[in-house]
Chain A
Amino acid sequence: MTRKQRRLILIGSGLAVLAVAVVLVLSALKDSIVFFNSPTDIVEKQVQPGARIRLGGLVKPGSVARGDNLSVRFEVTDGNRVIPVAFTGILPDLFREGQGVVAEGALDGSGLFRADAVLAKHDETYMPKEVADALKKQGHWKHDYDKKAGASPDANPSPAGRAQ
């Protein structure tokens, strides 16, 4: 086998692996990414029932209602629109009324958002970035949040910090 042939085999197999990887990445990007939406986005973009999305906003004060078997309902708002959310399971430690929250799931036919995951933060002063941006867009951003979320160098523990 000449040097040239060997190099061809090397380059060929390299390209083959890369091609496989590209196909995998493209198909995965098509199927498994989840778009983030604020309640207003959901209404304006007319998100289809069944499409997997993330819904972010504030938990509307007074809207949390617990049912049997760990089922819970609450409403997520960005000050403009309100989306009802149903979830079954344990809510994160930092889930609170009036606080930022991100729920992942899909809308059902009746406009109810069925979440299978609810994320909140480690830190009580934290506001998820997407939620903050969405609130700013709707003009409901309060400077109070800014003071809490923006200038807090304390909220930064380690390269492996993560939350539920």
Chain B
Amino acid sequence: MIPELGHYALVLALGLALVQAVVPLWGARAGDPALMGVAAPAALAQFVFVAIAFAALVACYVTSDFSVLNVAENSHSAMPLVYKFTSAWGNHEGSMLLWVLILAFFGALVAALGTNLPATLKADVLAVQSWIAAAFFLFILFTSNPFLRLADAPMEGRDLNPVLQDIGLAVHPPMLYLGYVGLSITFSFATAALIDGRIDPAWARWVRPWTLAAWMCLTGGIAMGSYWAYYELGWGGWWFWDPVENASFMPWLAATALLHSALVMEKRDALKVWTILLAIIAFSLSLIGTFLVRSGVLTSVHTFANDPTRGVFILAILVTFIGGGLTLFAWRAPLLRQGGLFAPISREGALVLNNLFLTTACATVFIGTLYPLALEALTGEKISVGAPFFNATFGPLMVPLLVAVPFGPLMAWKRGDLLGVAQRLSAAFAVGVIGIAATFAIEGAKPVLAPFAVGLALFVIAGALTDLVERTGLFRVAPGIARKRAAGLPRSSWGTALAHCGLGLTLLGIVGETGWSAEKIVTVRPGQVISLRHYDLSFDGLVPREGPNYRELTAKFTVRRGGDVLGVLEPSRRAFSTRGTTTTEAALMTRGLSQLYLSLGDNNPDGSITIRLYHKPLVLLIWLGALVMVTGGALSLSDRRLRVGAPKPAKSRAAVQPAE
């Protein structure tokens, strides 16, 4: 009964989406407020029905209803409850349902919160949003229906892929999807603006919070995925330039660019056409990202086997939305008037530079990801484009951008003073140079570039702080006044500084990890001691354990430094009987910002075991930096200036700010 209910709710949602896709648009053209008014309630109802469908699927999983094909293939009655929940979206069908749930949720948010939007814009936005939704409903219902029943229900499910039975991966896809789908709102706004042929700073003020929210989720989602790969896959890598990772990284780069160009548009009424184009590109990349992964087009060794029959449907959706969006852009963009002049050396100029480098870098990632596909289609030659390609292209493009980051926020709008800004950054320069010198002194020139990268990272961090110091007048005025100024500083300024600071921290972490990691792969016997850097690990023995749906073999290692016991590391190998798969659970020990990383390889008949031991200096900064970036985004999002039509007096600042 429950799956049928979910199925039915999904069909109703499709019906509503079709109405919402046509009627408001027609109303907006005919100037009929009643027809336009259909959009908001339809969006809310659509969300309710998708929510019912999703709840039905989750209910099937929680109750282990193996008469449903999807549940039987991806769940197991012995699985812990939390993974029963999360396996609802740990598979293709369920994750697509989650995708439309989030899509409908955002549509409903626009409908509920957009009371001050111009009526035609709101109608257009919701209609476009609904086209996307309708396409996805059709995709789910025709090719990926999660509610299909089995004639003979099996007694037991086939279990969720063991590497996915992890809390990190439970949260990662929803976060990433919130980011992907959040960009659909900016796409809908861009398309609506093109249909309308009109765009103003108020448009940018509406779009920016959405981009910001989507960007935060993407940042968090990518960081979480990276951390998951780091501890779950058992060999200490945190970024592989895998097509699947690139698929989430490209929208992130585009969203970062969009965030900055929307700023120019909002404040200076310039870069309109570019911002619209970026909004279309950002969501297009999200769609490509979702589908490249889902369709199995990019079956590298890293992706998962998949059903290629969905490919045609997917291709049709891609062509419709990306092609349609770009065609509309080519046709209508000339209608948008350009405004806001600025000198090349100015805040606008700096933001253009940012966009230039980010989009170019995004393009190189795009080429690296899709070139093997194109080459195979054209010549049949199979190649793999790996980390060396991306390090050689993406890396050099990021350096000038990172150097420019501290300059941007210090530059004046319209016409900036490069020399003046450089002078104000002198302290940050000094920090960077000291960083380079200190690194050389301590670690020597090995690897050669690492000290310079440390200097660059410190420059970015110090530069971001310089901006705050300049704005509050710290060290120049009395501390009391500086504190008052700090309190009066708009939150978006804090947000900018924090986000840039986070970028520097992440860079520092990357340099530390790639430059100075130490690794040891050895075979050890019980009682033996292995040393890496300052740490001595003694192997105390193997202990078998029983988990809910697996058996594991845990190795106990005592970690000492100079004779003092620091703790115990217990890496393990888990054998999942249902799928006959083994996973490696690494053990981590955090020391400040660095980590000791231990994972198990094969165990041999004579009682010895193969281990990988890593010491990864500063590695935690990679994800902490991302966390700081997200916090910066959140601060910026809570800035009241971002909320259109809320011209409340400053004293209501303390009130709780709703996240958009």
Binding site for B on A (CB under 8 A): 1, 3, 6, 9-10, 13-14, 17-18, 20-21, 24-25, 27-29, 31-36, 54, 69-70, 89-91, 93-94, 102, 104, 119, 121-130, 133, 149-164
The CB with the most chain B CB atoms within 10 A, among A21, A128, A162, is that of A162
CA A35 – CA B294 in complex, angstroms? 25
Q: Which residue of B is nearest A120, CB measured? A: B301
Expressed in whole angstroms, the minimum distance between the Cβ of B344 and any Cβ of chain A is: 5
- Tell me, in angstroms, the Cα distance from A123 to B368 when the chains sit together: 26
Please state if A124 and B580 are interface contacts (CB–CB under 8 Å). yes
Interface-lining segment among B168-176, B447-455, B505-513, B528-536: B168-176
- Residues of the B chain whose Cβ atoms lie less than 8 Å from the Cβ of A32: 385-386, 388-389, 392
A9-B344, A25-B393 given as contacts; is B240 within 8 A of A162 (CB)? yes
A-facing residues in B335-365 (Cβ within 8 Å): 341-344, 352-353, 356-357, 360-361, 363-364
A93: which B residues are within 8 A, CB to CB? 234, 573, 581-584
Alpha-carbon distance A111/B389, docked complex (angstroms): 27
- Counting chain B CB atoms within 10 Å of each CB, which of A31, A123, A129 scores highest? A129
Residues of A within 8 A of B95 (CB): 158-159
Contact (A160, B176) CB under 8 Å given A21-B397, A33-B389: yes
**Given A33-B384, A33-B389: A154 and B601 interface contact (C-beta under 8 Å):** no
Which 10 interchain pairs have the tightest Cβ spacing? A32-B388, A36-B382, A90-B601, A160-B225, A129-B299, A28-B392, A24-B393, A157-B164, A155-B305, A154-B73
Most buried by B among A3, A102, A155, A161: A161
Residues of the B chain whose Cβ atoms lie less than 8 Å from the Cβ of A129: 299
| Cβ contact within 8 Å between B367 and A34 | no
Q: How many A-B residue pairs have CB under 8 A?
A: 203
Cβ-based interface call for B550 (8 A): no
Assuming the A-B contacts A20-B397, A21-B363, A94-B581, are A159 and B244 also in contact, with contact meaning beta carbons closer than 8 angstroms in the complex?
yes
Q: Which residue of B244, B245, B307, B384 has the most chain A CB atoms within 10 A of its CB atom?
A: B384
Assess the B343–A160 pair: CB atoms within 8 A.
no
The CA-CA distance from A153 to B385 in the complex, in Å, is 26
Separation of A127 and B306 alpha carbons in the complex (Å): 11
Q: Which of B173, B305, B388, B521 contacts A126 (CB 8 A)?
A: B305
Q: Could you tell me if A153 and B360 are in contact, using CB atoms closer than 8 angstroms?
A: no
Q: B163, A157: Cβ atoms under 8 Å?
A: yes
Q: Could you name 7 residue pairs across A and B whose Cβ atoms are closer than 8 Å?
A: A31-B388, A70-B610, A90-B601, A90-B602, A154-B74, A157-B160, A162-B229
B156 at the binding interface (Cβ < 8 Å): no
Contact B306 A160 (CB under 8 A): no
B161 within 8 A of A: yes
Closest to A26 in B: B393
* CB contact under 8 A between A158 and B172, given known A6-B343, A24-B397, A123-B581: yes
How close is A26's CB to chain B, nearest CB, in angstroms? 10
Among listed B86-94, B118-126, B628-636, interface-contacting one: B86-94
User: B240 to chain A: which residues have CB within 8 Å?
Assistant: 162
CB distance from A152 to the nearest CB of B (A): 6
When A21-B397, A152-B305 are in contact, do A158 and B247 touch as well, CB less than 8 Å? Answer: no
- Are B293 and A159 touching (Cβ within 8 A)? yes
Taking a contact as CB atoms closer than 8 A, the residue among A69, A91, A130 that contacts B382 in the complex is A130
Contact A34 B92 (CB under 8 A): no
Q: Which residue numbers of B lie inside 8 Å of A, CB to CB?
A: 73-74, 90-93, 95, 158, 160-161, 163-164, 169, 172-173, 176-177, 225, 228-229, 233-235, 240, 242, 244-245, 247-248, 289-290, 293-294, 296, 299, 301-307, 341-344, 352-353, 356-357, 360-361, 363-364, 367-368, 371-372, 381-386, 388-389, 392-393, 396-397, 521-523, 573, 579-584, 601-602, 610, 612
In the assembled complex, the Cα of A157 lies from the Cα of B163 at a distance in Å of: 9
In the complex, what distance in Å separates the CA atom of A123 from the CA atom of B581? Answer: 7
* Bound CA span A163–B581, Å: 13
B397 near A119: Cβ-Cβ < 8 Å: no
Contact assessment for A153 and B392 in the assembled complex, using a CB-CB cutoff below 8 Å: no
Given known contacts A21-B363, A90-B610, A123-B581, A34 and B384 CB-to-CB distance under 8 angstroms: yes
Task: List, in ascending order, chain B residues with CB within 8 A of A69's CB.
Answer: 523
Tell me the smallest distance from the CB of B85 to a CB of chain A, in Å.
Answer: 14
Additional 12 contacts, C-beta under 8 A, given A31-B392, A94-B581, A153-B306: A21-B393, A21-B397, A28-B392, A29-B385, A33-B385, A70-B523, A93-B584, A125-B305, A129-B299, A151-B307, A154-B161, A157-B163
Q: Separation in Å of the B402 CB from the closest CB of chain A?
A: 14
When distances are taken between beta carbons in the complex, the residues of chain B under 8 Å from A164 are 233-235
Candidates B172, B364, B381, B386; contact of A160 at CB < 8 Å: B172
Chain B proximity of A5: nearest CB distance (Å): 9
Distance of A27 Cα from B363 Cα, bound (Å):
15
CA of A69 to CA of B602, assembled, Å = 13
Q: How far is the CB of B604 from chain A (nearest CB, A)?
A: 9
A33 touches B610 (CB 8 A): no
In the bound complex, do residue B93 and residue A35 qualify as a contact, i.e. CB atoms below 8 Å apart?
Answer: no
Residues of A close to B360: CB separation below 8 A: 17-18, 21
Tell me which of A27, A104, A123, A159 contacts B290 (CB under 8 A): A159
Shortest distance from the beta carbon of A138 to any chain B beta carbon, whole Å? 15
Is the Cβ of B304 less than 8 Å from the Cβ of A159? no
Q: Which residues on A sit within 8 Å (CB–CB) of B384?
A: 33-34, 36, 54, 104
Distance between Cα atoms of A102 and B368 in the complex (Å): 20
Of all chain A residues, the one with the shortest Cβ separation from B292 is A159
Our pick among A18, A119, A150 for the contact of B301 (Cβ within 8 Å) is A119
Query: Given A32-B385, A33-B385, A89-B521, does the pair A163, B233 have CB atoms closer than 8 Å?
Result: yes
| Cβ–Cβ contact B392 & A161, under 8 A | no
Q: Which residue of A lies closest to B355 (CB)?
A: A14
Separation of A67 and B92 alpha carbons in the complex (Å): 42
User: In the complex, what residues of B have CB within 8 A of residue A36's CB?
Assistant: 382-384
Give the contacting residue for A162; candidates B160, B245, B522; CB below 8 A: B245
Residue of A nearest to B87 (CB): A157
Question: Are B383 and A34 in touch, CB under 8 angstroms?
Answer: yes
Shortest B171–chain A CB gap in Å is 11
Partner of B307, one of A9, A28, A153: A153
Q: Assess the A34–B386 pair: CB atoms within 8 A.
A: yes
Contact B163 A29 (CB under 8 A): no
Q: Taking the nearest CB of chain B, how far is it from the CB of A130, in angstroms?
A: 5
Please name all residues of chain A whose beta carbon is closer than 8 Å to the beta carbon of B245 when the two chains form the complex.
160, 162
> Is the CB–CB distance between B305 and A156 below 8 Å?
yes
In angstroms, Cα B339 to Cα A3, docked, is 11
Say whether A10 contacts B344, CB under 8 Å. Answer: yes
Judge whether B158 and A25 touch: CB under 8 Å. no
Q: In the complex, what residues of B have CB within 8 A of residue A25's CB? A: 364, 367-368, 393
- A24: min CB distance to chain B, Å: 4
Bound Cα distance from A101 to B546, whole angstroms: 30
Residue of A nearest to B301 (CB): A119
**Least CB distance, A105 to chain B, in whole angstroms:** 13
Question: Is B382 a contact partner of A35 (Cβ separation < 8 A)?
Answer: yes
Instruction: Give Cα distance in the complex from A101 to B545, angstroms.
Output: 30
Q: Report the separation of the CA atoms of residues A132 and B93 in the bound assembly, to the nearest whole angstrom.
A: 25
C-alpha spacing A156/B389, complex, angstroms: 27
